[in-house]
Chain A
């Protein structure tokens, strides 16, 4: 505990102390963030429902969203690398959805100013499916998709 207090004091410098504490998860650890978890969006059964729950309406296809380091064929559906890169200015968030999963929405990333609009992670896929990247930028919603074939599903036991 003491060691961390040093960090806080050093990083604090007065005005930003609150920000440091919040970022460190000291103020109400868990609570604020856990509440923000978008249950409706994650439990939605279709892409459209999920996008709506995320606050997106009409979506425009965009060529400015590209999948990086994402395979065409995934041997193991339990671990499918997905990278999404958006070159749309003012990208605020990137969501990854797998169409044929029981709940399509896999992840939503919030991109603050200063952070590159590229994220890479790994998702599970139950079967071959289209994967959608939904990008919110400057209040508008853009979408791109890519088909990934899965040879071994990731939702079995």
Chain B
């Protein structure tokens, strides 16, 4: 299992700002190792963020996203104490879900 995400969600006016830092290699499939063999691609393909069961952002990513991806966005609504849940799935089918409380 991959390392947990760091999720910070804060109320800013009538919107909630969400910042996510994921822990992932995001290998492009273009690099070669010391023996000249191509390192297979390994990257997060899809990310979904949900608040109270409602999807507030979904994304599809390619390998051009940086290692240990960062993501931030805002959505309307959300109150202190609500939960924001973020899920990612990589191209090997591995997945991770983490949850944060809006503060």
Binding site of B, secondary structure by majority: helix, strand, loop or mixed?
A: strand
Q: Among A16, A25, A38, A157, point to the contact of B95 (Cβ < 8 A).
A: A25
A145 at the interface (CB under 8 A from B): no
* Tally of A-B Cβ pairs under 8 angstroms: 139
**A residues less than 8 Å from B30 (CB atoms):** 102, 155
Q: Smallest CB–CB gap between B17 and chain A, Å?
A: 9
CB contacts under 8 Å to A, within B64-91, are 64-67, 69-77, 83, 85, 87, 89
Interface centre among A20, A105, A107, A156 (most CB of B within 10 A): A107
Binding site of A, secondary structure by majority: helix, strand, loop or mixed?
A: mixed
CB contacts under 8 Å to B, within A107-140, are 107-112, 114-116, 118-125
- How many chain A residues touch B (CB < 8 A): the figure is 47
Q: List 20 A-B contacts (CB under 8 A).
A: A11-B53, A19-B54, A24-B53, A33-B46, A33-B58, A34-B45, A37-B46, A78-B67, A101-B64, A107-B59, A109-B59, A112-B56, A114-B75, A115-B75, A119-B72, A121-B70, A124-B28, A154-B66, A155-B31, A157-B32
